[in-house]
């Protein structure tokens, strides 16, 4: 066999089947760490550490005992970590049992991009808005570098990031949904639209901050179909025709999310010209989640408006993990029998099975990301 033929032979065996023989697959980026910024969709312990722990049955399907996630099991950020062969992320705010060798998570449940003038005790809005998460990241980066250099024997370096690896890390964002929910509560749709340029600019500022500190690879989720959260159905009787779409999602809310996403995508495209060495991937989580909600039967899931955990009968609503009364009796918000077929875990947050489905669709490259690359290649500028 000639070398040429042998080469072709090897290629046929080594090249993954989805690449044509002429298009060389770029090698994987081997990200050493993930730094995440976001809200409850990607909080792996922040809000539980800073305020009150998220109670069972949250976390009932999580592989480790302490989950502190708004889910029965894993979040999309956990599937990202698995995909990149990295451990699940410790929350920056968590003081116990943490390991930051391969990244840290600054997300907290209830976080917004813009600072809000409310306390968490009103509507659950986190004080750790995106600008604060970036300040925390800066502090984390500077202090770990210092600790690394000081050679203090009492510091366990094996649980700290290697300073040089910040530049090679993947920076992920999943935030914006709560800016919309605050908007629905406090503003008209026109007033909301007027805030979008500022909100997407603040996200761009966060990316620029990290870029200036050496970050180069960014993975930015857009916001999901907020109108499809089953909580929107509570107390909604005799709504006018067209209020809900055919899947019982609130039309106007989804239109606002789409408008937000359009502006976010345009801002990401502009960011690519402003940050010449950045690889920025825009991820259409909206399309993936709506794709699941509009195809649950085919995909083997339950009704997307069914809430797996909690007690929700007529107008009595007892939140997942809470105790309440219904018809004069104590009732506990328990989990459904088959969470692996659930789309919605608690009415606001997706169940692990849905997160897994969305992750399978968005992490492997294809029409849900711009550019259409798998997350393992998100360090390449296209």
Ligand X SMILES: *[C@@H]1O[C@H](CO)[C@@H](O)[C@H](O)[C@H]1NC(C)=O
Interacting residues with ligand X between 199 and 238 (CB under 6 A) = none
Q: Which two tokens stand for residue 326?
A: 């219904």
Interacting residues with ligand X between 321 and 340 (CB under 6 A) = 327
313 near ligand X, rule: CB under 6 A = yes
Q: Is-catalytic flag, 266? A: no
Per annotation, catalytic residue among 40, 126, 181, 217: 40
Per annotation, catalytic residue among 102, 312, 317, 349: 349
- Backbone dihedral region for residue 107 (phi beyond 0: left; psi -120 to 50: alpha; all else: beta): beta
Residue 44: which of 129, 118, 107 has the closest Cα? 107
Cα separations in angstroms, 351 against 41, 293, 307, 338: 11, 13, 9, 11
To the nearest whole angstrom, how small is the minimum distance from the Cβ of residue 229 to ligand X? 19
To the nearest whole angstrom, how small is the minimum distance from the Cβ of residue 300 to ligand X? 8
To the nearest whole angstrom, how small is the minimum distance from the Cβ of residue 179 to ligand X? 9
- At residue 279, φ and ψ (nearest 5 deg) are -105, 110
Q: Which two tokens stand for residue 188?
A: 């008209």
The C-alpha atoms of residue 323 and residue 321 are separated, in whole angstroms, by 7
Can you tell me which of 74, 356, 373, 379 binds ligand X, judged by CB under 6 A?
Answer: 356
To the nearest whole angstrom, how small is the minimum distance from the Cβ of residue 145 to ligand X? 33
Report how far Cα 296 is from the mean position of its chain's Cα atoms. 21
End-to-end CA distance of the chain: 38
Instruction: Please state, as a whole number, how many other Cβ atoms lie within 10 Å of the Cβ of residue 252.
Output: 12
122 near ligand X, rule: CB under 6 A = no
116 near ligand X, rule: CB under 6 A = yes
Can you tell me which of 117, 149, 154, 238 binds ligand X, judged by CB under 6 A?
Answer: 117
The window from 9-17, 35-43, 80-88, 112-120 that contacts ligand X (CB under 6 A) reads 112-120
309 near ligand X, rule: CB under 6 A = no
What's the chain's Rg over C-alpha atoms? Answer: 22
Residues binding ligand X (CB under 6 A): 114, 116-117, 313-314, 327, 353, 356-357, 360
Q: Which residues are tagged catalytic?
A: 40, 346, 349
């Amino acid at each position: 066999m000639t070398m040429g033929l042998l080469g072709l032979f090897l290629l046929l065996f080594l090249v993954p089947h989805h690449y044509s023989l002429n298009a060389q697959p770029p090698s994987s980026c081997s990200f050493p760490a993930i730094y995440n910024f976001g809200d409850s969709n990607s909080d792996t312990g922040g809000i539980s550490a800073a305020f009150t722990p998220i109670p069972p049955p949250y976390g009932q399907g999580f592989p480790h005992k302490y989950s502190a996630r708004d889910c029965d099991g894993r979040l999309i950020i956990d599937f990202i970590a698995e995909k990149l062969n990295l451990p699940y992320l410790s929350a920056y705010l968590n003081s116990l049992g943490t390991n930051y060798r391969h990244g840290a998570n600054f997300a907290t449940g209830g976080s917004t991009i813009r600072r809000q003038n409310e306390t968490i005790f009103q509507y659950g809005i986190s004080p750790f808005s995106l600008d604060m998460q970036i300040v925390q990241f800066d502090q984390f980066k500077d202090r770990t570098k210092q600790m690394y250099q000081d050679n203090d024997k009492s510091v366990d370096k094996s649980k700290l990031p290697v300073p040089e690896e910040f530049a090679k890390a993947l920076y992920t964002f999943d935030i914006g949904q709560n800016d919309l929910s605050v908007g629905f509560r406090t503003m008209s749709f026109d007033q909301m639209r007027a805030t979008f340029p500022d909100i997407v600019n603040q996200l761009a500022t966060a990316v620029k901050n990290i870029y200036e500190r050496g970050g180069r690879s960014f993975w930015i989720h857009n916001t999901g179909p907020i109108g499809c959260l089953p909580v929107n159905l509570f107390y909604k009787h005799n709504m006018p025709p067209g209020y809900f779409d055919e899947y019982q999602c609130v039309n106007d809310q989804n239109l606002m999310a789409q408008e937000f996403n359009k502006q976010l995508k345009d801002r990401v495209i502009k960011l690519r010209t402003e940050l010449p060495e950045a690889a920025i991937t825009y991820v259409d989580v909206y399309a993936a989640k709506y794709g699941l909600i509009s195809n649950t039967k085919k995909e083997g899931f339950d009704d997307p408006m069914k809430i797996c955990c909690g007690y929700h009968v007529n107008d009595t609503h007892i939140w997942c993990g809470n105790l309440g009364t219904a018809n004069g009796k104590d009732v506990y918000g328990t989990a459904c029998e088959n969470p692996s077929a659930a789309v919605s875990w608690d009415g606001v947050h997706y169940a692990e099975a849905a997160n897994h489905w969305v992750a399978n669709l968005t992490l492997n490259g294809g029409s849900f990301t711009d550019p259409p690359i798998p997350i393992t290649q998100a360090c390449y500028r296209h």
